[in-house]
Homo-oligomer: A and B are copies of this chain.
Amino acid sequence: MVTQEQRLACAYLIKVAEPPAPALRRFVVAHGVVAAAAAVRVGDVPESVEAETSARRHIDTAAEDLAVAKRAGARLVTPEDEDWPAWPLLPLTNAAARGLKWASPPLGLWVRGTAPLAEALQRAVSIVGARAATSYGEHVATEMGYGLASRGMTVVSGAAYGIDGAAHKGALNATGSTVAVLACGIDRAYPAGHTALIDRIAAQGLVITEYSPGTTPARHRFLVRNRIIAALGSGTVVVEAGQRSGARNTAASAAALGRVLMVVPGPVTSAMSMGCHDLLREGLATSVGSVAEVIESVGLFGEDLAPKPETTPRPTDGLDSEALRIHEALEPREAHPAERIAEVSGVPLSKVRAVLPALELTGLANRCESGWRRTPPTPT
């Protein structure tokens, strides 16, 4: 059970510190959220925490933030809640422990939607990509969102125009689960043109953010937000990305966090695929072209193997190279004696005499009075 005091303390700290706040988070873990908030309020904290909290520690809108969130249909989930996604966020916790400050986990998450958060994130794949996506990229993102959601995976993305929106829509169309991670307050919809989409995501899945209600989106917040998208998916699929893009930032985060990084290849003539191809050339990412390949890439080794695409078998598939040469040397319209077949194929006569009856048995050759001819393939 999380007390109201704890929740208020968490809301206060989230408002005070601009994420990521590694020193404050360590301080909270060490002293508990209530004591940490009290210390921050009066400035009785180590220097590193002071640097993260001094600018706003006099602002306490915790009660108001909780009320605003409630009106927006949202709640605050804290690390003390049973619903806290500790397992999906573990790569951030571990990376922060290794000293990667940018990877520090959020102090809490504002959550809009009724689904349990930790459960929704149990089997999740992140799909990210360019806002200025091509119709090819949006098509692939929609198909992947749909296919992954249909197979019980939660599709995590950032609600942006282009690839993000297409991935969410695909999951929604499959009546599956999808989570949008915002870079602004839970009471905001950004981009404004995706207000209806974000409402649909909240109704069917979840909208989450580490930013206090009222926080405006700013460029650095998107980059900070991306670490959460990169962490929450067992793997991240980059569908399209320019050479300098937020999607590449998410990709780099996923790779640094040890998550599976996948890219969808595209035409080399398309600027929107250049970021994907760069990641392939740098050896950072696996190429994926289908939902089955994504599931295989993030799945457990040996399970979830993508089915090998079926190829049409040929009647000559089982033949060894000499039998193939004998078969090729036969003509469909004119029969020839074995001696001639040996000459044309270059296979010794004794072998030709042994193989021809075998070809006849499998329906590939015909014996007639003047010799042997090839059986024309039966139409399928």
Q: Once the chains bind, are B281 and A280 in contact (CB under 8 Å)?
A: no
**The residue from B50, B55, B243 contacting A311, defined by CB atoms under 8 A apart:** B243
Q: What does the 1/0 interface line of A284-318 toward B look like (CB < 8 Å)?
A: 00111110010000000000000001010000000
Q: Chain B contacts of A321 at CB under 8 A?
A: 220
**The residue from B17, B264, B281, B345 contacting A268, defined by CB atoms under 8 A apart:** B264
Chain B: which residue is nearest A18 at the CB level? Answer: B346
Bound: A101/B54 CA distance, A: 75
With an 8 A cutoff between CB atoms, is A354 at the interface? no
Q: Which of A16-39 contact B (CB under 8 A)?
A: 16-18
Bound: A324/B281 CA distance, A: 30
Q: Chain B contacts of A289 at CB under 8 A?
A: 268, 274, 277
Counting every copy of the chain, the complex holds 2
Bound: A329/B18 CA distance, A: 12
With an 8 A cutoff between CB atoms, is A367 at the interface? no
A277-B287, A346-B18 as given contacts; A328 in contact with B219, CB under 8 Å: yes
Which chain A residues have a beta carbon within 8 Å of chain B's beta carbons?
A: 16-18, 50-52, 54-56, 59, 136, 139-140, 218-220, 243-244, 264-269, 273-274, 276-277, 280-281, 286-290, 293, 309, 311, 321, 324-325, 328-329, 342-343, 345-349, 351-352
New A-B pairs, 16, CB < 8 Å, besides A140-B269, A265-B267, A277-B289: A16-B346, A18-B325, A18-B346, A55-B343, A55-B346, A59-B343, A140-B268, A218-B329, A220-B324, A264-B268, A265-B265, A265-B273, A265-B277, A266-B268, A274-B309, A281-B287
